[in-house]
Structure 1
Amino acid sequence: MDVKKNDFERLIRENKDTIYTVCYMFSKDQDEVADLYQESLINLWKGLSQMKPDGNVKGWIYRVALNTCISLERKKKSRPTVRLTMDIDPFDSSDNRTAQVDMLHKRISKLQPFDRAIILLWLEDISYDEIGQILGISTSNVSVRLVRIREQLKKMSND
């Protein structure tokens, strides 16, 4: 059990940014991102024995984190929620780059979960082949979907 625990801790240390990035693309609310991150860690731990030692570790991590976030998003949509509001925005920043990142994040969050996963992996500079392997679709399907997703993002308003 200690070997498994040590391997898991090393795996998480080396890939924590990847997991966080996936979670952040599904929510900007810090508490919700933390919940998604924790659920992803739980699912990674549960699936550790299924990971192939010679396989694509980063791809496996993306797949588990994406599936976790997509599943929780579906559950969230089926439950009514009440949003609490604050008078201040802790994420507010006046610089132009942050405003552009916020705009992109808002637009991406409007996409369907599967399309969100594709664009996230593309933004992480993952090859089309790897994206296809992670999501279980063909490379040409990745290419076609990315063109459609980018067009969809361009047409969205900033609301």
Structure 2
Amino acid sequence: MENNKEYFERLVRSHKDTIYTVCYMFSKDEDEVADLFQETLINIWKGLPSFSGEEGALRGWIYRVALNTCISLDRKKRRRNTVPLTMDVNLFDPSSESRVQRADQLHNRICQLQPFDRAIVLLWLEDLPYEEIGQILGISAKNVSVRLVRIREQMKRMK
């Protein structure tokens, strides 16, 4: 068991940025991102004994586990119809530069996408080739290409 624990710790250290990026694409709230991250780590730990791939396939497997975890929790959250209670509204934020606003706008538009489309955009933003995105999501590279064109058009129409 110690060997698995050491392997898991190494795996988390080397892939924590990837896992965090996936979690961040599903929520901007720090606490919720931390919950998604923790839940993803639990699912990786549970699935590690059944992972039979080689090191090269590990990155794709981690993406799939993180995406599936976030998509599942996102679906549960949407079914609950919760209303966030925040009172720390800053109506005048001097740091709101145009670049920050564009990044927030992009993040908000990505969050409006369906979970599968959000996953495609996330993987594309990570500079993964279409073939690898397709392998991770179980679709063809051509389908990735077509979906990205449609997603871009959809995001242009968003407000």
TM-score relative to the length of structure 2: 0.93
Mapped to 2, the partners of 1:95 and 1:57 lie a distance apart of 39
2:64 equivalent in structure 1: 63
1:52 equivalent in structure 2: 52
Gaps of 5+ in 1: none
Query: 1:95 Cα shift?
Result: 2.7
1:111 equivalent in structure 2: 113
Query: 1:84 Cα shift?
Result: 0.7
What RMSD over aligned residues (CA atoms) do the two structures have, in Å? 1.3
1:100 equivalent in structure 2: 102
1:6-25 matches, cutoff 5 A: 6-25=6-25
Mapped to 2, the partners of 1:88 and 1:10 lie a distance apart of 40
Identity %, equivalent residues:
70
Query: How many residues are paired up?
Result: 155
- Runs of 4 or more above 3 Å deviation: none
TM-score relative to the length of structure 1: 0.93
Q: Determine if the alignment matches structure 1 residue 142 to structure 2 residue 125.
A: no
Letter of the 2:27 counterpart: S
Mapped to 2, the partners of 1:80 and 1:95 lie a distance apart of 32
Mapped to 2, the partners of 1:15 and 1:96 lie a distance apart of 31
2:88 equivalent in structure 1: 87
1:152 equivalent in structure 2: 154
Query: 1:97 Cα shift?
Result: 2.1
Query: 1:139 Cα shift?
Result: 0.9
Query: 1:74 Cα shift?
Result: 0.7
Mapped to 2, the partners of 1:145 and 1:25 lie a distance apart of 18
Mapped to 2, the partners of 1:33 and 1:127 lie a distance apart of 26
Letter of the 1:147 counterpart: V
